[in-house]
């Protein structure tokens, strides 16, 4: 005999639009709203699987506003999968610099090589085949297949999951969420429908205070904005670090001292950064303290104290760094960490 909770879940799922006229009306309402109100984003103006793939990888755990410029610049450097496959890893990481989560860039590069070597530079056209490629999981495969190739396969990201949980009023399991998304998919326009669901979650059915009064599918929502409460997110760790920003003029070329992270580091392997220490300099050099920054990496919030030399004088506040003097005009060609980019931009160096 099914458990009472299981019966309750199935009852509530059955009550939300799943078939017939009700589902058709739901699809029309959502797609009509999307046609009128979708954001003007560059990856929505193409059916090129390379560009759609790139946008989906960049958008993982990253805000749209932060992706726009990187997407444009990346495509200028690597306009197609062949150009990306032929590039060095350092070139790819340099173009990715500032987006964070650099494993995405490495997997993107690896996948491009696989596409060129094993698929002649073309993309498989089904979600199942796409999932066999490096770095492409169920969500990304479904997004590419539905948008580029019109395969009727649903996508589920955090936005879609939130919409479905509010719509059904049920704390759905992962399999139930994917099943629900597939059941309501508009097979005639699968790519647009998937993007409409994601757009709804990103702009209307948002976390915290959803904009229910302007929701195009409010009449089909069981919760009207109330969300089943999940466990609270884990608290961020807090740390302090000290960075040395040293510049000098070497034979007419402005240079900055950078250190390369170990190639096998668990975080940002091989990236270049300013010399840093988790211990404050002793004694504290008041004249050398320039600025303090706030910076977050995964689950850690950093307070970053930057020491800067003046008039080319050596900075002795931190232990001597085993770094290299890098010409400033070469920095765009090497992979630097997001924190280093933030500091160099604030200092007017890049």
In the numeric block, the tokens 């009207």 are attached to 224
178/200 Cα distance (integer angstroms): 17
Please report how the helices 4-15 and 174-184 are oriented relative to each other, as an axis angle in degrees rounded to 10: 20
308/257 Cα distance (integer angstroms): 11
Q: How many CB atoms lie under 10 A from the CB of residue 284?
A: 12
> By CB neighbour count within 10 A (0-12 exposed, 13-18 middle, 19+ buried), where does 54 fall?
buried
Is residue 260 helix, strand or coil? strand
Question: Which residue is catalytic, options 56, 151, 199, 246?
Answer: 56
End-to-end CA distance of the chain: 67
Residues contacting residue 119 through CB under 8 Å, at least 6 positions apart: none
227/212 Cα distance (integer angstroms): 12
| 196 and 36 Cβ atoms separated by less than 8 Å | no
- Catalytic-residue membership of 239: no
DSSP 140-205: HHHHHHHHHH--------HHHHHHHHHHHTS---HHHHHHHHHHH--TTSHHHHHHHHHHHHHHTS
258/339 Cα distance (integer angstroms): 12
Instruction: Cite the active site residues.
Output: 56
């Amino acid at each position: 005999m099914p458990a009472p909770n299981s019966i309750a879940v199935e009852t509530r799922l059955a009550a939300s639009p799943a078939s017939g006229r009700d589902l058709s009306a739901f699809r029309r309402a959502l797609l009509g709203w999307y046609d009128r109100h979708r954001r003007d984003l560059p990856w929505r103006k193409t059916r090129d699987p390379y560009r759609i793939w790139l946008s989906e990888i960049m958008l993982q755990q990253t805000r749209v506003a932060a992706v726009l410029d990187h997407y444009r610049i990346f495509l200028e450097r690597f306009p197609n999968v062949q150009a990306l496959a032929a590039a060095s890893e350092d070139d790819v990481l340099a173009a990715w610099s500032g987006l964070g989560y650099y494993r995405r860039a490495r997997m993107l590069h690896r996948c491009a090589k696989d596409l060129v070597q094993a698929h002649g530079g073309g993309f498989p056209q089904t979600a199942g085949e796409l999932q066999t490629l490096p770095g492409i999981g169920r969500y990304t495969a479904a997004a590419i297949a539905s948008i580029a190739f019109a395969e009727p396969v649903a996508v589920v990201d955090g936005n879609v999951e939130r919409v479905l949980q509010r719509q059904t009023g049920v704390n759905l399991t992962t399999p139930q969420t994917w099943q629900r998304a597939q059941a309501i998919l508009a097979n005639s326009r699968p790519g647009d429908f998937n993007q409409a669901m994601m757009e709804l979650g990103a702009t209307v059915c948002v976390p915290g205070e959803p904009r229910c009064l302007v929701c195009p599918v409010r009449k089909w929502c069981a919760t009207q904005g109330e969300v089943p409460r999940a466990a609270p997110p884990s608290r961020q760790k807090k740390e302090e670090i000290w960075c040395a920003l040293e510049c000098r003029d070497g034979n007419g070329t402005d240079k900055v001292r950078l250190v390369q992270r170990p190639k096998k580091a668990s975080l940002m392997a091989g990236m270049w950064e300013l010399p840093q220490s988790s211990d404050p300099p002793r004694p504290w050099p008041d004249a050398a303290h320039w600025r303090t920054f706030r910076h977050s990496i995964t689950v850690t919030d950093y307070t970053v104290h930057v020491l800067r030399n003046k008039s080319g004088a050596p900075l002795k506040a931190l232990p001597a760094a085993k770094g290299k003097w890098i010409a400033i005009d070469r920095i765009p060609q090497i992979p630097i960490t997001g924190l280093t980019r933030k500091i160099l931009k604030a200092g007017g160096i890049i």
